[in-house]
A and B are shown apart, each in its own frame.
Chain A
């Protein structure tokens, strides 16, 4: 399977703990996106990488959130001092990069539950 993969698929943690998610994009894709989705809502944009450069960040990405894409391949999203409001599905997507029109390919997501 050469699609976008995310690990883990599910994460349950206690409030105050740190969590890290990984995304492996489609290999030739230079753009990588992170989204958060809560029940009954569409994906909310968090951040965007062009190769290893983080070019856009949403105001949703508080100081507790950080994302990296160190070699322009896989990416990690870390949430420090988790809160119950962080419980959501975290989606990663990648694309080839063709202006605003490029098709994003989504992974299956990591479902985070903060107790």
Chain B
């Protein structure tokens, strides 16, 4: 049961253009949504997050949009830079049954930014 889905395994974008990475989820109980970036041989690193009560959060070149009615979020990177080439994971977080928190990750989208 994939609660968080990233349907595009890869995306190729020209340097300077906008990169749009998409994510769909099925569980309306998620409290927060997060994006992580992963380079080879490293663990994922946090990029940006959004509360389920917001519809947009912006941090420099990165903006996350949340459409709750569609259960869809997207990450916009503008302008894209070659250093942005990495695997991007969408994640969703909610309170667990015993007081803890649980984060569900999507399968990731590999972004290639061409110089």
By a beta-carbon cutoff of 8 Å, the part of chain A in contact with chain B is 4, 31, 33, 35, 40-45, 48, 50, 55-56, 91, 93, 99-109
By CB atoms of chain A within 10 A, which of B42, B43, B49, B102 has the most? Answer: B43
Contact status A42-B108, CB under 8 Å: yes
Contact status B42-A108, CB under 8 Å: yes
Question: Could you list some 11 contacts between A and B, CB below 8 A?
Answer: A4-B43, A42-B91, A42-B105, A43-B89, A45-B103, A48-B100, A99-B31, A99-B32, A100-B31, A100-B101, A109-B43
B67 surroundings in chain A (CB, below 8 A): none
Contact status B94-A43, CB under 8 Å: no
Contact status B103-A33, CB under 8 Å: yes
Taking A48-B101, A48-B102, A100-B95 as given, write out 4 further A-B residue pairs in contact, using a Cβ cutoff of 8 Å, ordered by the A residue number.
Answer: A35-B105, A43-B105, A44-B105, A91-B44
Contact status B107-A42, CB under 8 Å: yes
Contact status B107-A41, CB under 8 Å: yes
A93 surroundings in chain B (CB, below 8 A): 43
Contact status B43-A108, CB under 8 Å: yes
Per the bound structure, the CA–CA distance linking A101 and B95 in Å amounts to 10
- The 8 Å CB contact of B106, one of A42, A56, A100, A106, is A42
B41 touches A (CB below 8 Å): yes
B60 touches A (CB below 8 Å): no
Nearest-CB residue, chain B, relative to A58: B102
Contact status B46-A105, CB under 8 Å: yes
9-67 of chain B: CB within 8 A of chain A: 9, 30-32, 34, 36, 41-46, 49, 51
Contact status B32-A101, CB under 8 Å: yes
A100 surroundings in chain B (CB, below 8 A): 30-32, 93-95, 101
A99 surroundings in chain B (CB, below 8 A): 31-32, 101
Contact status A101-B107, CB under 8 Å: no
A43 surroundings in chain B (CB, below 8 A): 44, 89, 105
